[in-house]
Amino acid sequence: MGVRATPERSLNSKVTITTYGVRRQLLHHDRMELVVNFSITTGWFPVVVITVAIASLLLSVGWRNGSWKAQVVAGLPAAFVITVLVALAIHFFQFVPEDFLRTFCIWCWLVIFSLVVTILGWPKSHWALRLVSVIAIPPTKSKFQTSEADVYIPPAWLHNPEPELPVIELIAGYPGQLSDWTRAAYADTTATDFAAKHGGTAPLIVMPDANGAAQDTEWVNSKLGNAETYLTQDVPAYIRTEFNAATGAHSFAVGGLSAGGTCATVLALRNPKVFPIFATYSGYNVETFESGNKQNTIATLFNGSTAEYNAHNPTILLTGNNFPGTSAWFEAGLQDPVPLSAADRLHTLADKIGLAQACLLTPNGGHDFQF
């Protein structure tokens, strides 16, 4: 078949496509000619394509982590059945001409088998094999709009297969940003020092953007966004799916600085199965929207509901409730009076109701990153 086009300025061109190859011919006004002609079904081209396909298939198989057994045992028959169904559909519905190459079925089987192998090997494949595929933000329950999170990965995680490491989710203060943890609080340096003393092993540390475009969500679900759902469901699910994080009963902890410390306390007490361990550094007694008062906070974040406000109040949560599986760390500087008072009060309540562990530390320091 042929397609003829006559562009402007009398520049004539012709493109001819045949069953056995591709031929491109450009005829200019000065009679200069360029011809590219090669077969896509015979000669060197199909050999290169098949070689690359087979090499990619072999690299996709999990030889080292043992997943090749399931990939081959399940992949071969599955790919065969799917290929037969495709061939029957092509035949009965006449998707291609009668003289179409029968070797297409072999190519088709190779592609299908590669896909099956990739799907079966995905959960155990090394991070380097997964990296190119993780290019989009995954679907979330919260629909909360945030910037990208930071994740600290210890050396042990680079082993193949990846170890199931525990996770610490760190919440920055307000005003603040997630980079505060590494830029000023040196969480990554501390974790690296810990890993150096423990054979390269340390927790994964995820530092999410807990406020997003709303600035001060106080990390609750409100008209400003579903921040609490994002931090308690989306972030843990993502870090476990993409980083093979541990799923045991005490594998996830949450910590926070300043207002983020109040957030960590509330998140853990409201979701003890998600965060059985929490730490608050220079946190407060209650959540406060920006620099407003209680009434402004209730109106803005809790739709005017005092009951919802109380349901996010650490002092109320630690009164009359039992958290036998929860461990807590309260810390504030001696020169930081408001958080110091809050730490002492919350620790007293936590100790009274019988948390699994409740620690209080009050060294010298103020409300700053040096502390």
Q: What is the CATH number of the domain that holds 309?
A: 3.40.50.1820
Which of the listed residues 125, 157, 177 is the one where a domain comes to its end? 125
* Residue at 157 is within a domain: yes
Give the pLDDT of residue 312.
Answer: 93
**AA letter at 304:** G
Residue 192 CB coordination number (10 Å) = 15
Long-range contacts: 324-327, Cβ < 8 Å, 24+? 324/354, 324/355, 324/356, 325/249, 325/272, 325/276, 325/356, 326/268, 326/269, 326/272, 326/276, 326/277, 326/278, 326/355, 326/356, 327/276, 327/277, 327/278, 327/355, 327/356, 327/357, 327/358
**Residues 49 and 12 reside in one and the same domain:** no
Q: Looking at the structure, tell me whether residues 156 and 115 fall in a common domain.
A: no
Q: Does one domain contain both 156 and 234?
A: yes
What's the full length of the chain, in residues?
A: 371
Mean pLDDT value across the chain: 77
Task: Pick the range with the lowest mean pLDDT from 17-26, 54-63, 194-203, 297-306.
Answer: 17-26
Domain membership flag for residue 308? yes
Q: For residues 87 and 218, state if they share a domain.
A: no
pLDDT for the residue 333: 96
- Does some domain include residue 299? yes
Residue at 266 is within a domain: yes
Q: Which of 68, 92, 125 corresponds to the end of one domain?
A: 125
% helix / strand / coil in the chain, to the nearest 5?
40, 15, 40
The pLDDT-based confidence of 79 (bands split at 50, 70, 90) is: confident
Task: Determine, yes or no, domain membership for 214.
Answer: yes
Residue environment code for 257-284, b if the CB has 16+ CB neighbours within 10 A, otherwise e: bbbbbbbbbbbbbbbbebbbbbbbbbbb
Confidence check: pLDDT of 124 > 50: no
- DSSP category for residue 79: H
Per the model's pLDDT, the better-predicted residue between 311 and 288 turns out to be: 311
| pLDDT for position 11 | 29
Looking at the domain assignment, is residue 221 inside a domain?
yes
pLDDT at 76: 77
Structural domain includes residue 368: no
177 and 286 both lie in a single domain: yes
Instruction: Note the pLDDT of residue 3.
Output: 33
Residue 298: pLDDT band (50, 70, 90) is confident
Do 190 and 308 belong to one domain? yes
For 60-69, 213-222, 265-274, which range has the lowest pLDDT when averaged over its residues?
60-69
**Residue 328 reports pLDDT greater than 60:** yes
**pTM for this prediction:** 0.63
pLDDT at position 137 is 76
- d(Cα 215, Cα 145) in Å, to the nearest integer? 11
Query: Is position 370 within any domain?
Result: no
Higher-pLDDT residue of 6, 358: 358
Expressed as residue numbers, the domain containing 261 is: 137-361
| Domain co-membership, 184 together with 143 | yes
Residues 79 and 32 in one domain: no
Percent of the chain scored above 90 by pLDDT? 36
Residues 73 and 18 in one domain: no
Residues 184 and 272 placed together within one structural domain of the fold: yes
Instruction: Tell me, yes or no, whether 98 and 195 share the same domain.
Output: no
Last residue of a domain, one of 125, 150, 174: 125
Residues 27 and 70 in one domain: no
**Number of folded domains that form the chain:** 3
